[in-house]
A and B are shown apart, each in its own frame.
Chain A
Amino acid sequence: MRRKQILCAQQIVKVVVTVALCILVSTYSAAGSDQIPAKPQDHTIALVGGTIHKVVGPSVEGTIVFDGGKIIDLGANATIPEVAEIIDVSGKHIYPGLISADTYIGLIEIGAVRATRDRTETGDINPNIRAEVAVNPESELIPVARANGITMMVTSPSGGLISGTSAMMMMDGWTWEEMTFKAPAAMYVSWPRMTIITAPWFTRSEEEQKNERDKSLQELKDAFRNARAYMTAKKAEAQEDVPYHDVDMRWEAMIPVLERTVPVVVWATEVQQIQAAVAWAEQENIRIIIGGGYDAWRVADLLKKKNIPVLAGGIHRLPMRRFEAYDESFVLPAKLHDAGIQFAIITRGSPASERNLPYHAAMAAAYGLPKEEALKAITLYPAQIFGVADRIGSLEVGKDATLIVTTGDPLEIINNVEMEFIQGRKIDLTSRHTMLYEKYKEKYRRTKE
């Protein structure tokens, strides 16, 4: 039997080089110990002989060189400094690190265990909530996700109407502070359900549902009106004769939103929510991103006209309505692409399964989205949407050396990530899963003896 020991660090790193700098602890001896964060890149690294999928522009066979966490050269004729550690990746493929544009890794470890849930604060209006401060760097979910190429994540709070702000985090670091890449990344609003459910199993009356919806919409409007009043008052303090106004943490946190420096991800699934959210954003003069966007294609013209991006997904989801095509959610990204709407693909799934993000993208590709677009939807596009495309999302000189080395297209399940760098730091690809795997392989090795 051919047995590929995929994630065993010793085997994947084909070191051809002078300096053998394997910081990885063998998974063997690491059983019982956890993954150790990587050291900052302290020497130049050149990956030689692989196919470089830059994401922007055509792929090239050649070398990628990075130092100080940044890509300093790449291409068929890239210059390899003499001091560089040269890693032969012949036959391998190099991609930018995958970006999860929405997850809650670090905020919930085990869904059913209340003590491990830190994602949903009580109350409806929580703009001052910051996701990054509760991200547990020790979460076992982090190494599992990054082992499949996810190098960056936007981890977000949930619940209520205004849930707080997310942060873009690197999937490696000793503390949440070290992991944080950009915070706040966005503010989160859950748009109230606009439709009335009349199914017999639903116990709330039409009237109750309408009241609830109207109340929520009012609450949301009030929050923004109050925040704006607060901002105006605070700014006026600069003038003479204007008294000091006590700080309101909630409205303070909304100033960057009102000033359009921080976008708002509005979770909106169906048409009426999306339409209402777009109208509202226009009125409030804020930047929004539609999250989920199941029905976004039905209002594609509007989104295109207003230049509103969509975090589309999950792609692996059942059609919402009986009359919809079986592939309704599979074809959403293709439709958005055809309509010229900016989008990223997200999973909307359990954080423990975030490693399957590339397969959501692949499903979109199987159902009409060009393959290269599917790849962009989990690399360059989320970087653009969250305003960090100057640093990550593609392989270009000057950008972060946040990349993965794979056996092939990462959107194909059967391919594997063999090496990973975040800002040039070489990442341990072991996890709770590989450790248990090794442990029990050992059990059966012994049984054989």
Chain B
Amino acid sequence: MTSHPVNCPFAILQVFLVLLAPSQRAAGQTIPVEGIRENTPTVYALTNVRIIQAPGKVVEKGTLVIRDGKVESVGSVTPPADAHVRDLKGMTIYPGLIDSYSDYGLPKAPEPGTDNPQREERKAPEPRGTGYWSSAVMAHQHADELFRPDSKKAKKLRELGFTSALIVPTEGIFKGTSALVNLADGKANEQIVRAKVAHHIALERQRGRETYPGSLMGVIALIRQTLLDAEWYQKAHQAYDEDPKLTRPEFNETLAALQDVITRKTPIAIEASDELDFLRAHNIAEEFSLKLIVRGSGHEYKRLDAVKATQRSIVLPINFPDVPSVQTPEEALQVSLTELRHWDEAPENPKRLHEAGIPIALTSATLKDQETFLTHVRRAVERGLSKDAALAALTIMPARFFGVDKQLGSLGVGKVANFIVTDGDLFDEKTKIRETWIDGKKYEVNPIPEVDPRGGWIVNIADQPEADTIMLDLKGEVDTLKGTITKKKEAKLTKASFSNLRLSFSFTGDSLGYPGVVRMTANVAAQNLIGNGEWADGKTFVWSAKRTAPFTPEPDTSKPKTPEMASFPPVYPHGEFGRPDLPYLPDAVVVKNATIWTCGSNGKIENGDLVVKKGEIVEVGKGLKIPSDALVIDGTGKHVTPGLIDAHSHMAGTGGLNEAGQAISAEVRIGDVIDSDDISIYRALAGGLTTAHVMHGSANPIGGQCQVIKMRWGMPPDGLKFKGAPPTIKFALGENVKQSNWGDRYITRYPQTRMGVEQIMRDEFRAALDYEKAWKKFQKEGSGIPPRRDLELDAILDILRGGRFIHCHSYRQDEILMLMRVAEDFGFKVQVFQHILEGYKVADIMAKHGVGGSSFSDWWAYKFEVYDAIPYNGALMYEQGVVVSFNSDSDELARRMNLEAAKAVKYGGVPEQDALKFVTLNPAKQLKVDHRVGSIEPGKDADFVVWSGNPLSTYSICEQTWIDGRKFFDVEEAHELYEQTQQQRAVLIQKVLKKTKDKGKGEATKSPKRGSGFDHSSLESNLKEDQP
């Protein structure tokens, strides 16, 4: 990996100097010397020492020679004649550790503060003069420019064994570039090993209700658009350079800074807050074919296979969770199995990743208390990460990740002399780091005593008879000495101490024949000492001693710890109600002798059979032949329906599904933020739901791109997506988009009226047409400044060209009519009106337009525009020929959609079978997936539900839910999974209590997941559930 010659002249200078002038210290050459030059020789030979040159490459007893900041030789070598030789017997040398993600020496991001983002408006900082339009895109920031060494922090890092760190700017979504720096004291110039190592990205939404992007999907959309803009920038400028007569493209320092990313010279590094973010980061990199390093989260083990499949490298924090708070049974009720299991398993994350062959580098980033770094690393080792792997993750792996492995990460000849001296195995909890060397300069952490006073001494006190043999025995630790003095009888030393070669102690001498407290001091040399003392009566004396025996540490008799490993094997999703594998896919399944509501041309079949093969419905009817290998379900007394479909849901998404920062956010995609671990999926399965349309919120007239999913509980996010479901987009009308219920502060964003809503939509459609024209012109002429790819207009153009379908949140008849007319003017059809509570007033016009209606069954009066909502809405639209569905818009209601269908029977007398279609075939039609789901007909996906009775009866319950021929819910299995969950909680709570008994009060686990109580204020459910 090479540095970019234009953007980082300094880095290249570094590299050249290092490679071409090895005898020079690689720094400070341009700085004039003030005063007298310092020319102390910098040649050291550390001898008699154990040297770990690299993981697995050990010199048991050898010499390390350092000259001018670099390793000159290593192994069984003779110290050069000009070297300063030190005997480091008993010590171990490791390559210096690299902190792979740090904010060392960089300005801190402004504190987010404790303000409630729901209430407090926070304006984003103004963008720089020539920067990107969004102030969250700060790719023009460079850590090497921002870097100011901080000697206090450097010292702290060195004490942890770090000699280098990757420093990453702290602000923004695009945070700018990192630099790999050494942690020595001195000028910044001298510390930078490599500049512009990677461009860093945080998936962090911006605070404030009108700030873009306010959602994770908005963040991802912004990343996508920024990268496209960077590509465009390059092409536009190239075209302009070739033909300066063209319209001059804008200058943009941010996009200029990103050129190395799009040309793949510089990798991107994305900060992931959990394992699903990890997969999102990978998807972004895949989309643009970028080099990617992921700053992980510690949750990767939860989706190990999926993480492994990405083949990405991980910079891994080791912030293992705090001990969950389970001291009282009541407190424990707040702790989920997911949290307990995370506490139990997270320390094995490094091990599992390593053993899966995933390259990892460790970092102290995200640790609450950085000083616990080594403790955490040692815990990871205790929990199975091999020592070599741990060392590699702290040395050679990060050096490789960051393109400095020729200089750093191991102790070969010619490498930078960054290393640490320890008094034992680095991963042993008793081991101390003694010295940290950077660029061949020593920093003492826990100084190695020049003389060890411990051991046996024979004492001579002047004026005392020689015959009285006095023995001094010193033991314990050098800085916390203990010992005895013996003259026939033994007295314990009190207040023994040793520093700067000076020993002092006192003892009560009565038993030895010296009345009172005797105090003695001495200067210690290797083999003898000499000093003064004072008797209790105030008389002084001179004493000396000779060593009789060297110190031999007491053998470690403690038993090697057998680590307690994680209690339970992996399940998907992690924690509650997960399974080790997907439900089994039988070759054939038959439901026999059931009442089958086909929702297709066969109507309702009494005593019917359903035959499924390999996930597909092959036959439905009476008295069917049963394949011999079939799994047979006795359907006697049971009812079978198609899997229920919810045309309007907000489940299974994370990071906010309402990008409210702009009036138009057509570029954001729910598909980017699917949360496959949302427990709502499991709960919805238990109510017979198999498919849901996960929608953007209604905060703006044109929202984002929605995602159809199946409830494949246990699969990763991409596995939930309904492949082949045509793209959809959320539009919205009325009170929400004109911010009627946002509060008095929100009165300026366009539009504020239903009139404005119409105009902004027309304007957007017009703009998309112009955009298309511009592209066509460019493609035809093949020259000029290329048009800029605009993801927002792309989505709008998709609508106009019939490739994307509008699902529009709507209430009042005027706005419903308006949108149909706008669509007609632009030559397309609105696909579905969502909510559409006044659809009954214009049902005839809707039928003529050909738009579907997806309504609440009976919600009303939660805000003014729904005061005319009536439960007969569904029936009236149905009677006029509109394809009607009932939707939930609620994770709770999504569990009983069959009963919503029953309301169509109650209010307006829709025939039962047609009413059931409101939650099966009709939403399938609305989502244009009715060729696959929505009815029980041959050729369709085997998505079906077995009910205990009539699905429209309030007394019936869902017994089995099948998707693609797999049984994703079974009421019996659910009981087992529940029992298993409770049992695992009990086991882990006991484990916690056992731990906390040893360690005192535990702290509460902080869940790393994004909060869900955030930013949903414009989703309808908030208004509907007007609970105290």
Contacts and interface: CB of A to CB of B under 8 A. Distances in A.
Contacts of B868: 432, 436
Contact of B858 (A355, A414, A416, A434): A355
A199 B1007 contact: yes
Interface string A198-221: 111111111000000000000000
B896 A414 contact: no
B584 interface: no
A199 B863 contact: no
A21 interface: no
A198 B1006 contact: yes
A295 B575 CA distance: 22
A110 B863 contact: yes
Most buried by B among A205, A295, A322, A326: A326
A275 to B, nearest CB: 8
B1013 interface: yes
A183 B891 CA distance: 37
Contacts of B338: 322
Most buried by B among A195, A204, A413, A437: A413
A96 B405 CA distance: 83
Contact of B957 (A355, A367, A412): A367
B327 to A, nearest CB: 12
B323 to A, nearest CB: 13
Nearest to B677: A322
Interface string A316-327: 111101110111
Interface string B305-332: 0000000000000000000010001110
B114 A203 contact: yes
Contact of B1026 (A111, A275, A318, A447): A111
Contacts, number: 203
A356 B679 CA distance: 25
Interface residues of B, number: 83
A443 B880 CA distance: 11
B679 A350 contact: no
B907 interface: yes
Given A198-B1006, A323-B336, A414-B905, A316 B985 contact: no
Contacts of A351: 861
B787 to A, nearest CB: 40
Given A200-B1006, A367-B957, A321 B1011 contact: no
Given A108-B1026, A199-B1007, A413-B899, A326 B682 contact: yes
Contact of B333 (A271, A413, A443): A271
Interface string B585-619: 00000000000000000000000000000000000
A113 B870 contact: no
A437 B870 contact: yes
Interface in B872-926: 872, 876, 879-880, 891-893, 895-896, 899, 902-903, 905-909, 911-912
A358 to B, nearest CB: 8
A349 B911 contact: no
A200 B1023 contact: no
A365 interface: yes
A322 B576 contact: yes
A97 B1023 CA distance: 30
A203 B955 contact: no
A322 B1008 contact: no
B862 A326 contact: no
Given A203-B116, A437-B876, A447-B844, A326 B895 contact: yes
A321 B1011 CA distance: 14
A362 B902 CA distance: 13
A356 B858 CA distance: 9
A6 to B, nearest CB: 7
Contacts of B909: 2-6
A190 interface: yes
Interface in B311-369: 325, 329-331, 333-334, 336-338
Contact of B330 (A203, A271, A322, A362): A271
A198 B330 contact: no
Nearest to B115: A203
A421 B350 CA distance: 71
Contacts of A198: 325, 334, 1004-1007
A368 to B, nearest CB: 10
A2 B908 CA distance: 10
A205 B114 CA distance: 9
Most buried by A among B680, B867, B870, B876: B870
Describe B's contact surface by its main secondary structure. Answer: loop
Nearest to B907: A6
A326 B974 contact: yes
B114 A353 contact: no
Contacts of B843: 440, 444
A366 B1010 CA distance: 35
A322 B337 contact: yes
B333 A200 contact: no
Contacts of B952: 413-414
Contacts of A144: 860
A352 interface: yes
B488 to A, nearest CB: 61
Contact of B844 (A158, A415, A444): A444
A352 B954 contact: no
Given A201-B1013, A366-B957, A326 B686 contact: yes
Given A2-B911, A272-B330, A413 B1007 contact: no
B861 A141 contact: yes
Nearest to A272: B330
B879 A1 contact: yes
A298 to B, nearest CB: 8
Contacts of B906: 6, 413-416
A190 B1028 CA distance: 10
Given A112-B864, A326-B683, A414-B952, A318 B1011 contact: no
Contacts of A190: 1028
B556 to A, nearest CB: 39
A433 B872 contact: yes
Contacts of B1028: 120, 158-159, 190, 267
Contacts of B336: 321-323
B982 interface: yes
Interface in A374-416: 411-416
Interface string B89-131: 0000000000000000000000000111000000000000000
A419 interface: no
A304 interface: no
A411 B953 CA distance: 9
A7 to B, nearest CB: 9
Contacts of B1024: 350, 353
Contacts of A158: 1028
A316 B890 CA distance: 11
A444 B868 CA distance: 18
A411 B954 contact: yes
Contact of A413 (B740, B864, B902, B1004): B902
Contact of B863 (A112, A141, A201): A112
Contacts of A321: 333-334, 336
B840 A112 contact: no
Contact of A318 (B683, B858, B912): B683
Contacts of B981: 323
Instruction: In the A-B complex, list the 7 residue pairs whose CB atoms are closest, starting with the nearest.
Output: A201-B1011, A4-B909, A362-B954, A112-B863, A352-B861, A111-B1026, A413-B902
24 contacts: A3-B909, A6-B909, A111-B1026, A198-B1004, A200-B1010, A201-B1011, A202-B1011, A203-B116, A272-B330, A318-B891, A319-B683, A322-B576, A323-B981, A326-B682, A326-B683, A350-B1024, A363-B954, A365-B954, A414-B912, A414-B953, A416-B906, A433-B872, A440-B876, A443-B841
Given A2-B911, A326-B974, A414-B912, 20 more contacts: A3-B908, A6-B906, A111-B862, A140-B867, A141-B861, A198-B334, A199-B1007, A270-B330, A275-B330, A321-B333, A352-B861, A352-B862, A353-B858, A367-B957, A411-B954, A414-B905, A433-B860, A434-B872, A436-B872, A444-B876
